[in-house]
A and B are shown apart, each in its own frame.
Chain A
Amino acid sequence: MSETQLILRGAISLSNNEKKGFLDKETTRREFLKLSGKGIGGTFISLSLLNLLGCTNTNVEEVAAFPLAQGVLIADRARCTGCLRCETNCSLVNDGKAMPYISRIKVSRNYNFGTDGPKLAYAYEDGAFGNKLMSPETCRQCAEPYCGKACPVGAISTNEIGARVVDEAKCVGCGTCTKACPWTMPTVDPETMKSTKCVNCGTCAANCPTGALRIVPWEEVKYAMRKLGYKA
């Protein structure tokens, strides 16, 4: 097993206590909305459709030849230091080049001023020029994926392990998925004209220098949401 495989495996061998502690941070409505949708009037992630274990992206299998425990990628923004290694690692492993623009986790686009960009009171908003908090955005692997439903050629589907993946053979690079996603997560690679989106390979989480990223199994997410009084 290569060093890289060992690192990827290490990321998900968390104790149950560690996983629960991680989720206990979802203590405010705002934090939950980051999980399920911002201002989309009560859309919840329906967990019944998702049964998560590994991934089928062939590039990733070169470095992780065994299925990883799967769930949803969650970022603990308090631990994110903005090193942006997740972005280069994502594109290196999945696309063979360093290209944050198509990274399936989005951090650098929010670096200076947060998700909403510079405001007059930027010194008190998110970002390096404000309260110093980074805004790492992750794919929600939505139960009713906006990207998948909007794709005119049916290139996005749920694979047998629950991740929403782009079939590059079908993708025509129209960018509809990008526009449909409420969080603008899928990105068409201008060099290949193929859409890229998160497939829960776990590379970013495995290599985060502060452990700010975890792939948390869906059962744990369901547990946390119910504990907080949400429907799940």
Chain B
Amino acid sequence: MSTGGWAGKIIRVNLTSGKISSEDTSKYQDFIGGMGIGYKVLFDEVPAGTKPYDEANKIVVGTGPLCGSGVPMSSRTNITSLYPGTDMNLVTDSHMGGNFAAFLKYAGWDAIIIEGASSKPVWLRIEDDKVSLEDASSVWGTGIYNTTAVIGSKMGKESCVAAIGQAGENLVNLSVIMNGSSHSAGGHGAVFGSKKLKAIGVIGTGSVKIGKDKKELMDLDAYVMKEIVGANNQHVVPSTPQPWSEFVYENSRWTAREGLTWGASEGNIDTGIAAPGDVNKVGYRTMKAIKDLGPVAAKYTVRMGGCQSCPIRCHAQMNIPQLEQYGVSPYAANTCMGWFSPAGVMFKGTKDQKEEGDGNMITRALGSQLADDYGVWCNYGSIGRDFAYAYESGIIKKVLPEEEYNSIPWNLLEAGDPAFLKEFYRRVTFKEGEFSHLGDGTYHIAKRWNFGADYFDTKKYSMWSPLGFPKHHASDESYQVGAIINCMFNRDAQSHSHQNFISSGLPVDVLKKIAEKLWGSGDAIDPPANYTPMNEYKAKFAKYGVIRNCLHDSLTLCNWMWPLTASPLKERDYMGDTSLESKYFSVVTGIDTTEEELDLMGERVFTLHRALTVKEMGTTDMRGKHDLMVNWVFDIDPDKKPFTEGTIKMDRDDMQLALTMFYKEMGWDEKTGAPTRATLEKLNMKDVADELAKLGLLPA
């Protein structure tokens, strides 16, 4: 039994009856927490065929035993529910970093199970063990920023608030739940909205207990901070030549260098030479504003920021006075796609205002500000690509009523004026007209507006699955390994375990040596755009990637940093430490757990996801109906052959072999890719096997 980590209690709130009760977490201990709890609740309690906005849908806001313990990179909240992005009513996860997960643990809770639907707008108030539903009418109809401020003034400044904006209230499919000023979880905002749940506010004055001696925890931290941790995405090589590294990798997120400053900080703080081993400089390694907003952004950067417990700080915090001319605050914060997707909406480009590159920066920051307050999601950038295709193909002009079409300021879009974004996000948020269906998500809009097959078949639009979600580190970057992983979920994969290692900055021969130690052979690694046929080592690498992804979403740990597969230290042959999750788990929970044992728990969680998908789709034919890839994956570069230098082109038969080998690794039926009874029982999920058997959904 554990002596630390878990809080031991889960809140269950029924919004129909208003009943709030407490449950024991130990029922879910085999699934760890977070994603594991989410899938178990959905499998057991939400019947197949339930739709995302039905009262019968449930939404699980989960943390894990490591949240709040101080383990580095451990405050992610995993939100599990049905996903409105397709019409197949499949389970997905969304994730938000920030402080929420840790604060929920300090309040004494591991997760919140939300069921039913309220007839009036409410918010959930959690102050340690005092949990109540409050009237949200004063904030319903307002944005996330205002909601956070109002709840902060009701609960106390120290509260952490997770909220939806007007987009979620209006049941826009592409909506978020956000905590803090930039940490948003995409895809489930409207599930909250359908339940009239506006926000969750948390204050916690309790503690997370450590099962073993805290000295062991501090020693692990010292080891990680000095020898293992890199920069954002666990990149371990600097982006410019540095005295401490024999390698350079231009795309690396380890951007710190002399002369690169937080330009809007008091004292113009220099990121400097942030060498490995210098514990007090880890937070300077990832100066990400210049990567996300362009080199011009350095002088507008107040600081870097991010989630509780994380030393990496990958969210740029900006002061851009030009934003005020658009009626929004000059202070904006975000990371990665939160900045990129508005630039995708302004697909004609952006016009510079006073200096080179500021048009791009202002566009991204304005879009971020608008989307984060309205609570609009981008579907990992697809919203902009859906729009670009519809506009450029003439579809928009055809499907919009003439009056509506003429009311939209297309001249702003054409001129690269970011003021267009105000129209875009407002229309999507408030469901104004036919245009606003861009907020439905690719699957729906492609049907509604009759997109041609070329939308899915052209790589530029980044679609991955005919089920309607885009690629996220797939075959384009990581050959069969990325391709397999991208087929596995019901939205974009959000899995970085494999890609972080491949893009860590280490040369291919170094990667191959590490791969040999971890997965049996350097053949698990292909150089960029110079791929080779499938082999068993790639299957093992893919399994590692997806298992760790699910493990981290259950523990929880940040999937943009963990696993720490590589290290920045030459003395270690750049080898990271893949046993760290299990070491931290053992110290924090007090339950001695080996790396293999913890991975098996991750495998259990991922296999449950697969079983749930089988149940929701009503078929075992995962290979034929679910693990699908669009045509550009195989048909790109028509004058080139797969597995030759200079192309990312894959081969259809080879990919089917890849799936077969992966199914074998997972102990799934090799023909269909569905979990077998033997595997489910081996993973202690006999109840899941029995339920699938009842429904005729176990493979023959």
A129 contacts B309, CB within 8 Å?
Answer: no
Is there contact, CB below 8 Å, between A97 and B267?
no
Q: Which residue of chain B lies nearest to A210 when distances are taken between CB atoms in the complex?
A: B283
Residue-wise, chain A 68-94 has the 8 Å CB interface mask toward B (1 for contact) of 000000000011111111001101110
- Flag if B157 contacts A110 (CB, 8 Å): yes
* Residue B27 at the chain A interface, CB threshold 8 Å: no
Stretch at the interface among B221-229, B446-454, B641-649: B221-229
* Alpha-carbon distance between A109 and B70 when the two chains are bound, in angstroms: 17
Question: Which residues from B are CB-within-8-Å of A25?
Answer: 266-267
**Closest Cβ of chain B: how far from A113's Cβ, in Å?**
5
**Other-chain residue from B69, B158, B283 in contact with A88 (beta carbon distance below 8 A):** B69
| Cβ contact within 8 Å between B215 and A81 | no
Q: Please determine whether A63 and B99 come into contact, CB atoms closer than 8 angstroms.
A: no
| Chain B residues closer than 8 Å to A101, beta-carbon distance | 106, 204-207
The reply to whether the CB of B499 lies closer than 8 angstroms to some CB of chain A is no
Query: A63 near B329 (CB under 8 angstroms)?
Result: no
Cα A190 to Cα B203 in complex, Å, equals 14
Residues of chain B contacted by A132 (CB below 8 angstroms): 302-303, 305, 317-319, 331, 333
Interface size on A, residues (CB 8 A): 57
Please name all residues of chain B whose beta carbon is closer than 8 Å to the beta carbon of A80 when the two chains form the complex: 303
B281 is an interface residue with CB less than 8 A from chain A: yes
Please tell me if the beta carbons of A129 and B145 are within 8 angstroms of each other in the complex.
yes
Q: Is B269 an interface residue (CB 8 A)?
A: yes
A174 contacts partner chain B, Cβ-Cβ < 8 Å: no
* Contact status B157-A109, CB under 8 Å: yes
Answer whether A113 and B283 are a contact pair too, CB < 8 Å, given A92-B214, A99-B206, A209-B311.
Answer: no
**A residues in contact with B160, CB < 8 Å:** 111-112
**Contact: B99 with A84, CB < 8 Å?**
yes
Complex: how many Å from CA A112 to CA B333?
A: 13
- For B283, give its contact among A83, A98, A124 (CB under 8 Å): A83
Whether B282 sits at the interface, judged by CB under 8 Å, is yes
Give the interface centre of A91, A96, A111 by most chain B CB atoms within 10 Å: A111
Q: Does A133 contact B (CB under 8 A)?
A: yes
Interface residues of A in 96-129 (CB under 8 A from B): 96-101, 108-114, 116-118, 122-124, 128-129
Residue of A nearest to B307 (CB): A83
B residues 147-175 touching A (CB-CB < 8 Å): 148-150, 152-153, 156-161
> Using Cβ atoms and an 8 Å threshold, which residues of chain A touch B226?
3, 7
Interface string of B22-45 (1 = CB under 8 A from A): 000000000000000000000000
In the complex, A70→B329 CA distance in Å? 42
Q: Is the CB of B106 within 8 A of A96?
A: no
Q: Which residues of A contact B283 (CB under 8 A)?
A: 81, 83, 208-210
A91 touches B207 (CB 8 A): yes
Chain A residue with the shortest CB-CB distance to B209 = A97
B280→A81 contact, CB < 8 A? no
Given the known interface contacts A81-B306, A131-B319, the answer about A98 and B208 at a Cβ–Cβ threshold of 8 Å is yes
Contact with A along B122-152 (1 / 0, CB 8 A): 0000000000000000000000010011101
Name the residue in A10, A89, A98 with the highest tally of chain B Cβ atoms < 10 Å from its Cβ.
A98
Is A160 interfacial (CB 8 A cutoff)?
no
Q: A97-B210, A101-B204, A207-B221 are in contact. Are A109 and B158 (CB under 8 A)?
A: yes
Q: Tally of A-B residue pairs with Cβ under 8 A?
A: 189
Which residue of chain A has its CB nearest to the CB of B284?
A: A210
Q: CA separation between A25 and B266, bound complex, in Å? A: 9
Q: Is A62 positioned at the interface, with any CB of B under 8 Å from its CB?
A: yes
A222 CB to closest chain B CB (Å) equals: 22
Smallest distance from the beta carbon of A175 to chain B beta carbons, Å? 13
- Asked if B306 contacts A128 (CB within 8 A), the reply is no
Q: Which residues does chain A contribute within 8 Å of B262, judged by CB atoms?
A: 78
The answer, yes or no, to whether A16 is at the interface (CB within 8 Å) is: no
Task: Please give, as numbers and ranges, the residues of chain A lying within 8 Å of B505 by CB-CB distance.
Answer: none
Task: Please tell me if B217 contacts chain A, counting CB pairs below 8 Å.
Answer: yes
B521 at the interface (CB under 8 A from A): no
What are the residues of chain B within 8 A of A63 when measuring CB–CB?
Answer: 215, 218
Complexed CA–CA distance, A208 and B221 (Å): 12
Selected from B210, B218, B266, B307, the residue in CB contact (under 8 A) with A4 is B218
> Is B304 positioned at the interface, with any CB of A under 8 Å from its CB?
yes
Q: Is A2 an interface position by the 8 A CB rule? A: yes
Q: Are A108 and B208 in contact (CB under 8 A)?
A: no
Judge if B265 is at the interface, Cβ distance under 8 Å: yes
* Pairwise interchain contact A85-B311, C-beta atoms closer than 8 A: yes
Could you tell me if A7 and B152 are in contact, using CB atoms closer than 8 angstroms?
no
Q: In the bound complex, do residue A96 and residue B158 qualify as a contact, i.e. CB atoms below 8 Å apart?
A: no
A41 to B673, CA, bound (A): 74
Q: Does B68 contact A (CB under 8 A)?
A: yes
Bound CA–CA A11/B281 (angstroms): 12
**Interchain CB contact under 8 A, A207 and B279:** yes
| Contact B308 A83, beta carbon cutoff 8 Å | yes
Q: Are A118 and B152 in contact (CB under 8 A)?
A: yes
Compute how far the CA of A3 lies from the CA of B219 in the bound complex, rounded to whole angstroms: 6
Asked if A128 and B309 sit within 8 Å, CB to CB, the answer is no
- Min CB distance A101 to B, Å, is 4
Q: Is A67 at the interface (CB under 8 A from chain B)?
A: no
Q: How far is the CB of A184 from chain B (nearest CB, A)?
A: 11
Bound-state CA distance A122–B160 (Å) is 15
B148 to A2, Cβ gap below 8 A? Answer: no
B304–A81 CB distance below 8 A: yes
Asked whether, in the complex, the Cβ of B329 is within 8 Å of the Cβ of A124, the reply is yes
B contact residues around A208 at 8 Å (CB)? 280, 283
Does B503 sit at the interface, judged by CB under 8 A?
no
A217 on the B face (CB < 8 A): no
Determine if A117 and B209 form an interchain contact, defined as CB atoms under 8 angstroms apart: no
Against A, the Cβ 8 Å flags (1 = close, 0 = not) of B97-121 are 0010011001000000000000000
Select B222's contact among A7, A92, A98, A123, beta carbons within 8 Å. Answer: A7
Q: A173 an interface residue at 8 Å Cβ cutoff?
A: no
Interface centre among A62, A84, A109, A130 (most CB of B within 10 A): A84
Contacts of A117 in B (CB 8 A): 152-153, 156-157
User: Closest chain B residue to A124 by CB distance?
Assistant: B329
Contact of A92 with B210 at beta-carbon distance under 8 Å, contacts A82-B305, A108-B158, A132-B331 already known: yes
A92 to B318, CA, bound (A): 32
Q: Is the CB of B279 within 8 A of A10?
A: yes
Decide if A83 touches B157 in the complex (CB within 8 Å).
no
Interchain CB contact under 8 A, A85 and B206: no
Which single member of A3, A7, A129 contacts B181 (CB below 8 Å)?
A: A129
Whether the Cβ atoms of A78 and B313 lie closer than 8 Å is no
Q: Contact at B152–A4, with CB atoms within 8 Å?
A: no
Residues of A within 8 A of B149 (CB): 113, 118, 122, 129
Q: How far is the CB of B121 from chain A (nearest CB, A)?
A: 20
Is there a chain B Cβ closer than 8 Å to A152's Cβ? no
Question: Is residue B310 within 8 Å, beta carbon to beta carbon, of the partner chain?
Answer: yes
Please, which residues of chain B bring their CB within 8 A of the CB of A81? Answer: 283, 303-306, 313
- Closest chain-A Cβ to B220's Cβ sits at a distance in Å of 9
Q: Are B223 and A131 in contact (CB under 8 A)?
A: no
Asked if A78 contacts B99 (CB within 8 A), the reply is no
**Any B CB within 8 A of the CB of A211:** yes
Task: List 11 additional A-B contacts (Cβ < 8 Å) besides A111-B99, A132-B318, A191-B206.
Answer: A4-B215, A63-B215, A85-B309, A92-B214, A92-B218, A108-B308, A132-B302, A208-B283, A209-B279, A209-B281, A209-B313
3 nearest interchain CB pairs?
A88-B70, A209-B283, A117-B157
A selection of 17 A-B contacts at a CB cut-off of 8 Å is A2-B222, A78-B262, A78-B267, A81-B306, A84-B102, A88-B70, A92-B217, A97-B207, A97-B208, A97-B214, A98-B68, A98-B69, A191-B207, A208-B283, A209-B279, A209-B280, A210-B281
